[in-house]
Homo-oligomer: A and B are copies of this chain.
């Protein structure tokens, strides 16, 4: 009998779209065994009352914005940004970002997310927090040149320095990429520089594209093309690109994304909350685009609970297409797991031998899971987010019976209260 670092015994495991009672053996950072044979581990977890899922991948967020959740709501978008959010961000220190990131990561872990993709400022602090709490992160510094050549150089330098410092750190848990903000805040020239530098360093690119109609209309009035078409024309697009939002894509753009192997992060709650629109997810899936899910920042959400995004993804496509079978539960769940890992080329998001051991356990005896005809439907349509009991990332248990193991939660909450007081004193 092979000995594993961790043996999860007898749980209902999600494998290839259905649930089976299996044992899972973990060795170092990876899943070493999935099957019905009896196994042993240095640590044994009894999975009898659990659903065992690949960890969720929050593929687009600005995690430290947890600090801003509920600060101001229900305002016209530009007014909200200018008079509220941007004013707070102007007072945001590196230390604030560190504590805000830990707060957001606590919420992500407790609601089942094992890996996230973050684009923000003071990214050294995000990387540090991610390393300490034990999550996996795809991180990038958010760059914008706004047509200024000097700024372009400086931004690229910060982005490059971040990548060189952090890529592969914490036993490979950090993957660093480039984060040019968006085609409307970055010049085409700058995006070409980013493309060249990404090729040189062999890293990917995460970018916002076509979130609002106004943004696309403005872009079109300048470039006589939609953003994806223009980015394709200038050679920016390769399969190492992940675009966030993609709410306003035309058929040609969806074809380009499909042909070039580009992934799209759908952020349904944020897209509703900011009145951006409902993305053409069913159309993209039909064309073979790899669509994954994200929460966006907490200011436009206000949570990092990916189970909300999973359910809403399915519901919104049903009403958008007028078809109750527009998206199937398995597709929505795979978008939140496998597709996220695929987008960023990380071998995880499935319970499969050789894959990274990023797993979560859910209590399957909850009232909202009864009766359970099919656990896939329970997961997609009935989960609140508070059923998650254990989180394992990179082969390490980072939450056990609801308790975050590697940091002191209460210290985080205390520091957040201080930061909140600072923000409240600004107005």
Q: A residues near B, CB below 8 A?
A: 67, 69-77, 80, 103, 106-107, 110-111, 269, 271-278, 301-303, 305, 312, 314-316, 318-319, 321-329, 365, 367-368, 370-374, 377-378, 380-382, 384-386, 409, 413, 416-417, 419-420, 423-424
Question: In the assembled complex, which residues on chain B have CB atoms less than 8 Å from the CB atom of A423?
Answer: 373
A321: nearest residue on chain B (CB-CB)?
A: B275
Provide 12 A-B residue pairs closer than 8 Å at the C-beta atoms, listed in order of the A residue.
A69-B377, A69-B381, A70-B372, A70-B374, A70-B378, A70-B381, A73-B381, A275-B322, A277-B319, A301-B381, A303-B384, A305-B368
Is there contact, CB below 8 Å, between B69 and A382? yes
Q: This chain: how many copies in the complex? A: 2
Residue of B273, B321, B322 touching A318 (CB-CB under 8 A): B273
- Contact A273 B70, beta carbon cutoff 8 Å: no
**Does A303 contact B382, Cβ atoms closer than 8 Å?**
yes
Q: Given known contacts A70-B372, A76-B325, A367-B103, is B303 in contact with A381 (CB within 8 Å)?
A: yes
A69 to B305, CA, bound (A): 22
* CB of A419 to closest CB in B, whole Å: 7
In the bound complex, what is the Cα–Cα distance between A321 and B277 (angstroms)? 10
Assuming A302-B381, A374-B70, A420-B371, is B319 touching A276 (CB within 8 A)? Answer: yes
Find chain B residues with CB under 8 A from A74 CB.
314, 324-325, 327-329
A318 touches B70 (CB 8 A): no
Tell me which of B272, B273, B371 contacts A67 (CB under 8 A).
B371
Measured CB to CB, the nearest residue on chain B to A278 is B319
User: In the complex, are the beta carbons of B107 and A368 less than 8 A apart?
Assistant: yes
Contact of A324 among B75, B303, B326 (CB under 8 A): B75
Determine the chain B residues whose CB is within 8 A of the CB of A67 once the complex forms: 371
Q: Are B303 and A368 in contact (CB under 8 A)?
A: yes
In Å, the complex CA distance between A74 and B17 comes to: 14
CA distance A371 to B103 in the complex (A): 9
* 8 further interface pairs, Cβ-Cβ under 8 Å (given A73-B374, A367-B413): A69-B371, A70-B373, A73-B381, A275-B321, A302-B381, A370-B413, A373-B423, A385-B386
> Contacts of A302 on B, CB cut-off 8 Å?
377, 381-382
CB distance from A376 to the nearest CB of B (A): 8
- Considering the chains assembled together, what is the distance between the CA atoms of A173 and B85 in angstroms? 46
Q: Are A318 and B381 touching (Cβ within 8 A)?
A: no
